[in-house]
Every structure is written in structure tokens, then in C-alpha cells.
Amino acid sequence: MTEALHTGYIGRDILRREDSYLLRGQGKFVDDLPEPRDTIYLGFVMSPYAHARIRSIDASRARALDGVIDVLTGEDLAELTDPIVTEIDFPGYIRHGRPVLALGKVRFVGEQVAVVLAEDRYIAQDAVDLVEVEYEPLPVAADLETAHLDGAPQVHDHIPNNTIFSARFETKGFDPAPAAATHSIRERFRSGRVAGVPLEPRGCLAMPDHTADAIVFYSSTQVPHILRTALGKHIKGASESKIRVIVPEVGGGFGTKAQIYTEEVVAAALALKLRRAVKWIQDRREELLTSIHARDHLYEVEAGFDGQGVIHMLRVRLHTNAGAYSSLPFGCTLEPTGGARMIVGPYRIRNYAYQAYAIATHTCPSGAYRGVAQPTCFLTIEGVMDRIGRQLGIDPAEVRLRNMIQPEEMPWVNAVGVRYDTGSYVASLKRAMEMIGYAGFRARQPADRLADGKYRGIGICSFTEISGTGAPGWRARGLIRMPGFDSALIKIEPTGKVTAYISHANAGQAHYTTFAQVVADAVGADIADVTIVEGDTGATPYGTNTFASRSAVTGGGAILRAGRKVREKMRRIAGQMLEAAADDIEIREGWAEVRGVPGMRVSLTQIAETAYSMNNLGLPPGEDYGLEASDFYDPPLATMANAVHICTVAVDPEDGRVKVENHVVVHDCGRVINPVIVDGQVQGGAAQGLGEALMEELVYDREGQLQNANLLDYLLPTALDMPDIRIEHIESPTIDGEGGFKGVGEGGLIGAVPAIANAVADALAPLGCNVNRIPLRPSYVLGLIRAATGR
Amino acid sequence: MARERVEVSLTINGRTYRDRVESRLLLCDFIRHVAGLKGTHVGCEHGVCGACTVLIDGRTARSCLHFAAAVEGSAITTVESLATEAALHPIQQAFHESHALQCGYCTPGFLLTTVELLGRNAAPTTEEIRQALTNNMCRCTGYANIVKAVGVAAAAMRGDGAAKA
Ligand code: FES
Ligand code: FES
């Protein structure tokens, strides 16, 4: 770490402020909040069919149950709410609406058709079982690869071939067969369908406030401001000003809770109408059936390269499974545009073309789960690198190095126009190879391969990680309603204590700690005097909120900008107080001092007293009262972090089990705010990546029934599955944005998936197995081995 | 549907709670809503995630898999019993210092699993720690720091200061 980057609190391992109450069991998650005695509990009746017409709904038995207040259907809610429409301005996107409760038709198993209002949660569940819905089943299109074919059942009548989104792109003068490309590879890569599965399911509590036509809406969400706007928009007659969204503790988000869900709109609409508290807490089955799913992608790729392994042409056609509706706010375009735009990664690929499609199916809507398109697009390009190596007999690490953007080529504008300002692609790969002992592994590999009956392999993923996307980045992907900026309001109170109101919302990232570090440095306060307020639209300024590796970049940037204004004012006031020029004042850890004159100083408290007119010093001429400033930060198109994961695996040919034996990460998220928190993000992400690579998969059958909507059958990694991961950092601060920060939330997941898959592919390459789909569950791996060995 | 109610009395963290509750009321709901101890979390309600782990008569149990009425008379220990006003329990302290939590939803379950583990094995190996934690799921941390924290806690509770660093 360089000195200049880390002089204050930024860059230090500061222990988390959140821990003391969470460890004591005093964290207040949404289900822990005190609720009034007359709270109404909601239970949703979910469709058991993937595609059906609703013939009739008979709620008489449910209504008769003691403790049931009412049962409402899609028609009832249509009077209170407008259908959810995800507005995306992109040629090739077809708009469609989703009523908050199904109207006439259901389009996936779990879609809500009615809502029970009851006096407690047990009664709500009893009543849900008593609502009799008569369905007329219709033909189902659940499978990505067939849903877009002619004759497939249609999810929406106005969307032919279920092609809800399509896009094409070619670099200028694209040449599909350049002369230099003497060799070629065609391959397909397939990822399974997974989900974020935060340990705390979703839930909300809508409380009428004392003015009776307003509500305070507590929700386990990552996006309080976006949610509030959506509630204001979708509830008929509601005023956004009369809705205050508060985010309590959130038990994990991972993007799952960065969406606006129909249940939230229903709960808020009912609380506004009935003027009673309305609460809904989902159970795990509901969570797996209705919280956004992700991946389920097919990449068909073609690469042309020369005898040295250098790529001269890349062409991909990719399909993503959008599910039944475009989710709010990211819609169905996020994954196809993301994969198509990011696949070129840290490589010098100039001649590039893509076709990208999102396909509607009769399955749960997909959305933005940690990593979004990147695990599969890097599975694809990193799989291509390995295949080039195998075809030419060149080590796959060497193939990467030959294609990689070299340090002297930075800054780089990639094939789709995204600028990479700084990065450490070559250095990160080389360091990761040293850390894992790459050369030694390769030398031992033939002998080790079956020493204990297991195949061993090593896999690399070298990648760029898009983070901190600003407005231009969202516009480039058609998301016209996604702001891009975040904001901070910093107040030095009359007593000299500091309160910073940030537009973000915490779901485990330790914002109360890391933002305090940034605020303390930005204004020159003692960190003990800094309090962070966030996750409350009644207190914090507007912002885009917390997903897609944004908070350090956009929150950090906004804090620095607001902090600068406050600091300048403090310097002017201190200058007058100390009879020195403002330019000569330095502020640090609670004191303003005349540069070079130790002891010539005033405290922040004394400055604040002056600013708030609480002494007889008076302000400098022309200066206003108060000591606060707010500012916004909208980062550029994208802030590009990068990383390399390398891991080694042992594959047991007896049962197909894969064990990750070693895993190293070299990560570059620019200027690090708190190293142990950054490491935690990488470790946690890597566990989700291991799950995605080896075990997690939501399996729909042909009828669109989700086969494993429980945690016994949808496997999450446990402590026994995880290797010890060694992590090192290289810091290439961004020069295009504020503070040098790049995002870190998703890289742990993104890199682990291709690294593990490539390691398995490497282990099984001598058998001739082609590993091109995930998850690599034991039965699938065993099948590959048996097919290859003829056993 | 007749909702049968029964008188249930449970001792939770040394204090007795008595109420007439539905016979199907889950232990986790009794703890959370009758006793008002919200530190015990519910993540799956089907016995897999371990978020609801408590001690029943000193042994770990999933409070979502028991009816409150079925454990009538038992002594229940929840996360709220571990710290004093002034100080965290050594296991909690180790979790804090090792950065073993992020969202904190899984944490109470891990803490009680660790209480049980260290109660029967004061010096577990890393493998034994991983084995003991395998019934608790954490979606945030990737477990590395939790495994580390349990080792740090074990050392601290043995009074083995050197291992703390
Ligand atoms: S809530 Fe009891 S094990 Fe998950
Ligand atoms: S810290 Fe979030 S689930 Fe463990």
C-alpha cells in the first residue's frame, strides 16, 4: 500500500461498529420490529401452475375462518394499484406489465393470485390453504433453449417467440474471418439457474403514521429510494411524499433484495387503504419460488486465433432466461447486455460481434444476483483461453498473458466502448500464479493426477469487474429509470460531532464502519465523533442505492465531495479564528491547525460553535450560518476493478465429487477503505461462486414446476466445502472517479465460478471430457467421466 | 379449524415464561413472540439453515423443528444470555475481532453451536471446527472468518493468550 493512499482512517482494518448489537442478538431485522396489536398479516396464495387461466377464485371457506379479515384477488388489487412495468429504452425490448396479483392468467409457479389478510401469521397460512382457485392449465415453455423456437407456448401474447429482448452489435469493420486467425474454436457454455438466497427471507411492515394518510414502510430491501418512488408510482392516488421507507437490519441482499416486489406494493397499498399496520414475512419456499432467480444462460462462442494463441476474432450469441416478467428495476436486459458487453474482459479483443437475447419463459422472473452476467461470460471467455491452450499445446496462463492488455496500453477503451482507466491485469495474474505455485503444480500434475485415485487440475479466471456504474452506464444498457448517482449530506453539529446521511442501505457490508472512515478523513474528524445514518428515505438524500458493487464508489465519492465543501468552510472559519489564511489551515482528527505552527489550533467544536453563532466570534464576512453540505456523485460509465482467481481441485472418479483444495485471489479494487471488510466480501463471494460452480441449481421440470424449492434440495456451501482462500491486494486507484475507489462486492463470486470450472476441466482433460456447463454436481461429473472412459 | 391451546411453561435464559399457546406453536415463535427474544432468527423453518439454533438443556437444537409444547419444562438458552451489559462473551469477542459476521442473521446460531462445541472440546482442530459448523449456513462470510473465530475463542477460553494474535 502506498503512503499517499493511506494517511488517515481509509485503508485501515477498523473493527466493525455493527458487531456489538448483532452479536448480542439485538439487531432489528424486519420481523423483529415491534408491531401494533391490530397488525394485519398477509399470506399470499401462489399458483401451483406455471401457465394457466384463472377460472374462478372461491375464498368463502378462507373468509369464514376465525381471524381472517379479508381475502383479495387480482381484480381487487387492480383497483388500488397499477401493473408493474419495467421501463427500458432499448431497441429490441418489448414492454409488458405485471399486475401485483395475477389477473386472468398465471405465468409461473408461485405467482400470487390472491392475498389473505389475517390476525396472525399462522391463521394467514391456514387461510391460504383454504382459498380454492380453479385453473385451466395451459401449455408451458419453461426451458431456455426451446422457448424461443417457433410453436413454443407464448408467455405474453404480444411477444413472439418469447423474445422479450434482442440486440446485435459488431465492432466497426467486423471481420468474421481475418487472415491472421489461422485456427478457430466453437463451443457452447451453459450455466444453471441459481439464486441469491439471503439467509433472511424477504419481508415488510407498513405502519400508518400519525397523520393517517402516510405510512412508514419497513422493508428488507437494498434500494429504499427506488422502492419509495416505485410505491408512489404504482399505488393509485398515493403520494411519494407520504411514504417513508426505512431499512432495518437486512439479513443479506446479494441483489435479491435490490428488486421491487409485488408483495411490497400490495402491503403498502393495503396499509394506505386500511390505515392499519400490514405485515408480511415470507417463508423459504416462497423465497425460492418468487425472489428473483439468475443465470440460466447459454453462450455459443466462436473464436479465431493465430498459432501463438492470440485471438483475432470473437463472436458470441447468447441467450438468457428472463422468466415470466421483466423484474423491476433492472428488467430482463441486464444479463444479456451485461454478458455481451463484459466478455472481452482484460483482453485485447478488437474484432468482436455479439447477438444477445432474453427469452421469456414460464418461470420465476430473473434479476440482478451478485455478479449478474459476469460468472457465465467469464466462464465462456476463460474457457476459450483454456481451449486455445489445449489446441495449441500452450500453457493456458501463457495464452492469457499473450492476449492481455499490457500496462503500457492503459488506459484502454474496450471493444464496446468501455474505458478501463487503470488496472493490474498482468501483475495480478503473475502474482496469483506465484501464490498458488502454478509452475510447481504443473510440474507435479502428471504424477499427482491419480496418486490417491483422484484427478487433479488447476483453473484460472482473470477478469475485469464492472462496478460503481454511473448514469451513462445504465443508459448504455437501456435503463432510463436508473439514476446512477448517490449522495451524502454531512453535518457538523453545534457540538462538533459529525452526522453523515448517506443514500445507501446496508445489508451486511458494514457501511456504518467504512463510511465513517471516509467521512472522518473527508472532514478531518475523529472517527469516534462520526455517526452514519442511512437506509431511511425520511432522513437521507436520494440515491440509486446499494447493489452492483456501488457503495464504496458512489457513496464514498459523494462523501468526499460533500466533505470537501464542509472542510473548506471550516478552513475559512478557522482561518478567521486563528488569524491565518484559510489556505494555511489543515484539519485532521478533530483539530484545525495552522500549517507549520503546531499548537496554533482550534477544535472542530470551537469552529462549529462559531458556525452556529454560539459564541461571540462571528462568521467571516459573507459566510452563512451552519456547517453542513450535501453533494452527489455520479461515476463515469463504469469503474473497472479486476482480479484473478486460481484454484486447484481434486476430482474423485468414484463418486464425481469435486474438492477445491487451494484457492488464491489477487484482487484490485483500487484504493481499499478497510482491508478486512474487503477480504470478507471476497471470501463470501467466493463461497457463493463455489456453490454456483459445484452445487447450486434451481431445477424446473418441463411443466415449469420448481423441483427443489427448499434448502435440503437446493444446496448451499457449508463450512466443510470451503477451502482456505488466500487473498492479496494490488491497488490501482481509479483516476476517472472520486477517491480512487473501485467496487468489490461481486468479484469474489465472479472469479470463483470460472476458476473452479476450469480446474475441473483441466483435471479431466486427459480423459477427453468437455466441461462446458455448470453446476458440476457429482452426478454430472460422474456422467462425464463414465462417458469418456466407457465405464 | 379448531385451534387447540395448551399451557406451556419454558425457562429461557433462567427466566420462566408461561402462556396458553396453540399446540402447534413452534419453539422459535415462542422464543421470539411470547418471550420477545428476537435474537433467535428464522431462515428456513425446515431445519436446514441453523439460524434458529438454541440450546435445549445444554444441547443445540433447531427451534423451528420443535413445538413449544413439546419441550415444556426444558431450559432453553438463546443468544441473549451470552453477553453481560458490560462485556461480550469470549466467543462473541472472537467473532468481533475475527470479522466473522457480515449481515449477522446467521450469527446467533453459530454462536450457540460454538458454545456447545467448546463445551465438549476445548481445543478443537480446524477440521473439527468445520465439522461442527457444517449444520449452520452463512451466506455472507464464506465461513473462513467464522472458523478462525472459533479457534480464537477456544484459545481465549483456555486462557491461552498467545493464540489470540
Ligand atoms: S430456521 Fe430453523 S433450521 Fe432454518
Ligand atoms: S453473516 Fe449473513 S448469513 Fe452469515
Collapse the DSSP code of A245 into the 3-class scheme (helix H, G, I; strand E, B; otherwise coil) and give the result: strand
- Of A291, A122, A277, A262, which Cα lies nearest the Cα of A202? A291
CA distance A82 to A59: 23
Average pLDDT of span A687-701: 98
The closest CB to that of A712, out of B48, B131, B135, belongs to B48
The 10 Å CB-count burial string (b at 16+, else e) for A695-718 is bbbbebeeebbbeebbbeebbbbb
The full DSSP string for B105-125 is: SSHHHHHHHHHHHHHH-SS--
For residue B162, pLDDT over 60 is answered with: no
Q: How confident is the model at residue A375 (pLDDT cuts 50, 70, 90)?
A: very high
Q: What is the mean pLDDT of residues A690-713?
A: 97
Grid cell at residue A33: 420490529
For residue B160, give how far its alpha carbon lies from the nearest alpha carbon of chain A (Å): 22
**Contact status, residue A351 vs residue A121, Cβ threshold 8 Å:** no
Pocket, ligand 2, Cβ cutoff 6 A: A 199, 252, 508; B 101-106, 138-141
What is the number of the ligand closest to the CA of B104?
A: 2
Q: Find chain B residues with C-beta within 8 A of A249's C-beta.
A: 103-105
Q: Average pLDDT for residues A581-587, to the nearest whole number?
A: 96
Give residue-wise pLDDT tens across range A535-568: 999 999 999 999 988 999 999 999 999 999 999 9
Contact A216, A246 (CB under 8 A): yes
8 Å CB contact of B141 and A684? yes
State whether residue B34 sits within 8 Å of chain A by CB.
Answer: no
A552 grid coordinates: 464504496
A303 touches A403 (CB < 8 A): no
Q: Which residues in chain A have their CB less than 8 angstroms from residue B1's CB?
A: 65, 126
Chain B touched by A198 (CB under 8 Å) = yes
Q: Which of B82, B106, B144 faces A725 most closely, judged by CB atoms?
A: B144
Q: CATH second-level architecture of A293-472+636-789?
A: 2-Layer Sandwich (3.30)
pLDDT the model gives residue A449: 85
Q: Which CATH class for the A33-138+202-281 domain?
A: alpha beta
Percentage of chain A lying above the pLDDT 90 cut: 92
Ligand 1: which residues within 6 Å by Cβ? B 42-45, 47-52, 62, 64
Q: Assess contact for B83 and B115: CB atoms under 8 A.
A: no
Instruction: Return the pLDDT at A168.
Output: 96
- DSSP string for A62-86: HHHSTTEEEEEEHHHHHHHBPPEE-
- Let me know: does A719 contact B137? Beta carbons within 8 Å: no
Domain A19-26+485-633 sits in CATH 3.30.365.10: yes
Q: Closest approach of chain B CAs to the CA of A246, in angstroms?
A: 17
pLDDT band at A36 (very low <50, low <70, confident <90, very high): very high
Q: What is the pLDDT of residue B165?
A: 38
* Cβ separation A680–B103 shorter than 8 A: no
Residue A6: pLDDT over 70: no
**Intrachain domains A33-138+202-281 and A293-472+636-789 with the same fold:** no
Asked if pLDDT for residue A735 goes beyond 70, the answer is yes
Every domain of chain A and the residues it spans: 19-26+485-633, 33-138+202-281, 293-472+636-789
In a 3-state reduction of DSSP, which class is residue A407?
Answer: helix
Whole-angstrom CA distances from A563 to A542, A567, A602, A739 are 17, 6, 19, 12
Percent of chain A predicted with pLDDT > 70: 99
Tell me if A252 and B139 make a contact (CB, 8 A cut-off): yes
In this complex, the residue of A23, A249, A725 whose CB is nearest that of residue B88 is A23
Q: CA of A261: how far to CAs of A227, A256, A616, B105, in Å?
A: 9, 10, 55, 22
Establish how many alpha carbons lie within 13 A of residue A204's alpha carbon, considering only the half-sphere containing its beta carbon: 32
**Among B112, B140, B146, B150, residue to substitute to test ligand 2 (most atoms within 8 Å of Cβ):** B140
Residue ranges of domains in chain B? 5-80, 90-158
Question: Which carries the bigger pLDDT value, residue A422 or residue A448?
Answer: A422
Q: Which fold has domain B5-80?
A: Ubiquitin-like (UB roll) (3.10.20)
Of B32, B42, B101, the CB nearest to A22: B101
**A157 CA to centre of own chain:** 31
Pick from B80, B96, B139: CB nearest A25:
B80
Question: What is the DSSP-derived secondary structure letter of residue A405?
Answer: P
Size of interface A-B (CB pairs under 8 A): 175
Q: Which amino acid, residue A73?
A: T
Distance CA A273, CA A214 (A): 10
CA distance A691 to A684: 11
Q: So what's the pLDDT on residue A2?
A: 36
- What is the predicted ipTM? 0.96
**Least Cα separation, residue B46 to chain A (angstroms):** 8
- For chain A, report the end-to-end CA distance as a whole number of angstroms: 53
Q: What gap in Å lies between CA A214 and CA A435, rounded to an integer?
A: 57
Q: Dihedral (C-alpha) A345, A347, A350, A353: value to the nearest 10 degrees?
A: -40
Q: Do A122 and B39 touch (CB under 8 A)?
A: no
Contact residues on chain B for A720, CB-CB shorter than 8 A: 130-131, 134
pLDDT digits (tens, 9 = 90+) for A146-157: 999 999 999 999
| Mean predicted confidence (pLDDT) in A477-488 | 90
* Bridge partners, residue B60, by sequence: B55
| B90-158 to CATH, choices 2.60.120.10, 1.10.287.610, 1.10.150.120, 3.90.79.10 | 1.10.150.120
The residue contributing the CA closest to ligand 2 atom 4 is: B138
pLDDT at A432: 98
At A169-221, the pLDDT tens digits run: 999 999 999 999 999 999 999 999 999 999 999 999 999 997 768 999 999 99
Chain B contact for A535 (CB, 8 A cutoff)? no
User: Which is more confident, A62 or B2?
Assistant: A62
Distance A26 CA to ligand 2 centre (A): 15
Confidence of residue B163 (pLDDT cuts 50, 70, 90): very low
Residue A5: predicted pLDDT: 46
Burial class (CB in 10 A: 0-12, 13-18, 19+), A127: buried
Which among A548, A559, A567, A554 is positioned nearest to A517, based on CA atoms? Answer: A559
**Dihedrals φ, ψ of A329, to 5°?**
-100, 0
Residues A79-126: tens digit of each pLDDT: 999 999 998 888 899 999 999 999 999 999 999 999 999 999 999 999
Query: If you search the block for the grid coordinates 394485519, which residue do you land on?
Result: A40
Distances from the Cα of A693 to the Cα of A264, A649, A715, angstroms: 32, 12, 12
Cα dihedral A101, A103, A109, A115, rounded to 10, equals 30
Query: Looking at the complex, does the CB of residue B54 fall below 8 Å from at least one CB of chain A?
Result: no
Q: Report d(CA A554, CA A494) in Å as an integer.
A: 28
**Model pLDDT, residue B161:** 55
Residue in A644, A630, A613 with CA at minimum distance from that of residue A755 = A644
List the single range of A258-272, A446-460, A568-582, B25-39 with lowest mean pLDDT.
Answer: A446-460
Beta-carbon count within 10 A of A790 CB: 5
